[in-house]
Structure 1
Amino acid sequence: MLDWEERRQLVKVANLYYFEGLTQSQVASKIGVSRPIVSKLLQKAKDVGIVEIYIKDESAHTVELEQRMEDRFGLKDVIVVPTAGYSAERSKRAVARAGAYFLSKNLKEVKKLGISWGTTLAQLVEEYPFSKHEDIKIVPLEGGMGRQYVEIHANQLAYEMAKKFNGKCSYLYAPAIVETEELKERLMDMEDIKAVLEEGKQVDKALIGIGNPHENSTLKKIGYLQDEDIDHLRETGAVGDIGFRFFDENGNPIKDSLNDKVIGIPLEGLKEIKEVICVVEGTHKLESIRGALEGSYLDVLVIDEPTASRLLGIKGK
């Protein structure tokens, strides 16, 4: 039985997080506790019934969007997140939170979970509640080393998700993109790197994002792509990437040296994974998402409502 003060704290934390839209880190700073404590308090608020979460908007419109997306693109499941009127940051957080919730309810019989990289997946990991899944191992799907933006690299996300699961993770000790194909081959012959890449091919589920190299590019922001690289990618017909692997509007991997210098799971390898969950947000990624769908790389899609509407050709969204 909760006493008055404990119930008051749970209500306050839930209100700041769910209604005022603060991140767990911002809530922690505001009330003077650590972020893991905020995560535990939010979980307790759900456990005792103070908070009830419904990810799906049960309006006919949202349900119809999900069904149409599933039918049009042959997807196993689609979660459309209402984000009308949201800022870009709040919209990404809402989609990431929906992705975290979906994953938390769909871990049955999962022994290995693959994770890619990026800002949306980093947000998903932050939103994911602490839970007991000691038997699940988290595996990075591509390399990622350096001193900048390490918080969005696959290795770091694997580590952070393993902490949330109270489980274990592997580490892929290699850059995501190397200077030459010869260096890539040498690295991929190393036993530790080869073993983790093999693990990545055998995960039960994979969490991925999608990038657009031409607009709001995280790859450019962190220094993986220069202006001349982006110009070259445009010439090759690249519309997006998954895990640093670029593809065209039909989902075909582009034939280019950039793709040949990546240490990670190839695009075709995604099709061998039992379930690929893509969490993506933003209409600026419209063509990138469409290309990934054309390539049949995705099984589950968690997406914001405006982008889902435009993918279906619905005007005014």
Structure 2
Amino acid sequence: MDDELLMVRVAELSYDENKTQDEIGALLGISRWKVGRLLVHARERGIVRIEIVHPRARRLAVERALVERFGLKDAVVVPAPDEPGAVLERVTRAAADLLAALRPVPRTLAVSWGRTLTAIAEVLPDGWAHGVTVVQANGGVSLNRRSGGAASVAVTIAQRGAGQAVLLPSPAILERVETKLAIEADRTVAAILDQAAHAGTFLFTAGPCDPTSAHVENGYLEAEDVIELARRGAVGDVLGRYIDAEGNIVDPELDARTVGIDLERLRSADRSIFVTAGAAKHDIARTVVSTGLCSVLVTDETTAQALLEET
């Protein structure tokens, strides 16, 4: 029996027949040490492929590639589920797992809001932290009351971390620059924004530049507004600020009416965790990771592969 065929036989007996290395050695007339070496070589040559199948499994090789390519501190990549609708659930659970495992535990956590952050808050375990302060990083008082908005996200994360929520009492986008400046000049609002800007850890997502945007859902913008932003080069928004593929603000006038911390704070933060899932956010995800807006990425395998292949 040549070496390659012997390798196949050893693999079959080990993985298909569940035989021990001693048993395989006795059957094939070789030592158990040679059996072990052949199994290692079988995996190295791709004759044997081992896949861990579980919703909370991770793709470690892809994570390492992302960290190396984009200079990240860490990455969490979960397998893409067979059902497209399960992607968000799988990614947000991974984000909750990451948050609960952070060491040191965040004392102050600044958060954005939206469907992704709401889903993370809902699956965070009680006791994930002890005494954490959760601060809104950008305005989010809903104008149509159809969703819980930013307040419920911050409150839920804080309650499950035995801490307190510091809420930003402002819409995300105001109609007049003068109104925005007046709100941010208020002593209480200014103190909240300063607290958010100096948080040790940020947890945020990004929205696509299309009519499914949370800003349309919550009444800040019309569908035609985001279509026009896309025409001008916007790929999505981060903390309510619409940016192009290079990370530049697309509409300075709109940005001047947006309440929240500056994006530069994400770049300079000790830890900025970006959570994204699904094909609709590939463009904005690529911009976030390639322009240094995050130091930690949590995403699905399909998104991760798109980032690695297209940059």
TM-score bucket (shorter structure)? 0.7 to 0.9
In structure 1, distance between residues paired with 2:170 and 2:251: 23
Rounded to whole Å, the distance in 2 between the matches of 1:293 and 1:134 is 30
Sequence identity, in percent?
30
Shift of 1:135: 2.6
1:159 to partner: Cα distance: 0.8
2:212 maps to 1:208: no
Distance 2:245 2:69 in 1: 16
Partner of 1:262: 258
SS in 1 for 2:227: helix
Cα 1:65–1:236 change in 2 (3 A) is same
TM-score (norm 1): 0.76
Q: TM-score under structure 2 normalisation?
A: 0.78
Counterpart amino acid of residue 200 in structure 2: D
- Please tell me the residue identity of whatever aligns with 1:67: R
Pick from 281, 285, 288: which aligns with 1:285?
281
- The one of 301, 307, 310 equivalent to 2:303 is 307
Deviation at 1:223, TM superposition (A): 2.4
Q: What residue number does 1:122 align with?
A: 118
Partner AA of 1:94 in structure 2: R
Instruction: Say which SS state the counterpart of residue 293 (structure 2) adopts.
Output: coil
What 5-or-longer segments of structure 1 have no aligned partner?
Answer: 1-52
Q: In the alignment, what sits opposite 2:104? A: 108
Q: Which amino acid is 1:104 matched to?
A: A
198-207 or 287-296: which moved more?
287-296
- Size of the alignment, in residue pairs? 256
Distance 1:253 1:197 in 2: 20
Q: How has the CA–CA distance of structure 1 residues 115 and 107 changed in structure 2, closer, same or farther, with 3 Å as cutoff?
A: farther
1:215 and 1:275 map into 2 onto residues whose CA distance is: 31
CA distance 1:109–1:163, change in 2 (3 Å) = closer
The Cα of 1:109 is off from its aligned counterpart by: 4.8
Q: Is the 8 A contact 2:209 2:227 kept in 1?
A: no
Equivalent residues of 2:126, 2:161 under 8 A apart: yes
Match of 1:253 among 249, 256, 269: 249
Q: Distance in 2 between matches of 1:144 and 1:107?
A: 29
Identify the range of structure 1 (130-139 vs 270-279) with the bigger mean alpha-carbon deviation. Answer: 130-139
SS in 2 for 1:254: coil
The alignment status of 1:85 with 2:82, answered yes or no, reads: yes
Cα distance in 2 for residues equivalent to 1:214 and 1:86: 23
Classify the secondary structure of the residue corresponding to 1:237.
Answer: coil
How far apart are the structure 2 equivalents of 1:79 and 1:106? 13
Give the counterpart letter for 1:194 in structure 2: A
Corresponding position: 1:276 with 2:272: yes
User: Which of 62, 66, 70 is equivalent to 1:69?
Assistant: 66
What is the aligned partner in structure 2 of residue 242 from structure 1?
238
**Contact 1:206–1:277 under 8 Å retained in 2:** yes
Distance change (3 Å), C-alpha of 1:65 and 1:215:
farther
**Separation (CA, whole Å) in 2 of partners of 1:132 and 1:219:** 30
- Separation in 1 of the partners of 2:101 and 2:252? 39
State the 4+ residue runs in structure 1 displaced beyond 4 angstroms.
none
Q: CA separation in 1, counterparts of 2:152 and 2:118?
A: 9
CA distance in 2, matches of 1:227, 1:215: 5
In structure 1, what is the equivalent of residue 48 of structure 2?
A: none
Decide whether aligned partners of structure 1 residues 261 and 107 sit closer, same or farther in structure 2, where only a CA change above 3 A counts: farther
Match 1:194 to one of 167, 178, 190: 190
User: 2:252 aligns to what SS in structure 1?
Assistant: coil
Q: C-alpha offsets along residues 238-266 of structure 1, whole Å, 9 cap, x if unaligned?
A: 10111111111012222432111111112
Residue 118 of structure 1: how far off its partner (Å): 0.8
- Counterpart residue identity of residue 204, structure 2: I
Q: Deviations over 1:225-282 (max 9, x none)?
A: 2133123212321101111111110122224321111111121122232110011100
Deviations 1:58-80 (A, max 9, x none): xxxx2221111111111111111
Q: Which moved more, 1:281-290 or 1:229-238?
A: 229-238
Query: Residue 176 of structure 2: which of 172, 177, 180 is its match?
Result: 180
Distance in 2 (CA, whole Å) between partners of 1:238 and 1:67 is 29
Matches for 1:151-166 after TM superposition, within 5 Å: 151=148, 153-166=149-162
Q: Which has the larger radius of gyration?
A: 2
Contact 1:138–1:168 (Cα < 8 Å) also in 2: yes
Distance in structure 1 (CA, Å) of the matches to 2:94 and 2:245: 27
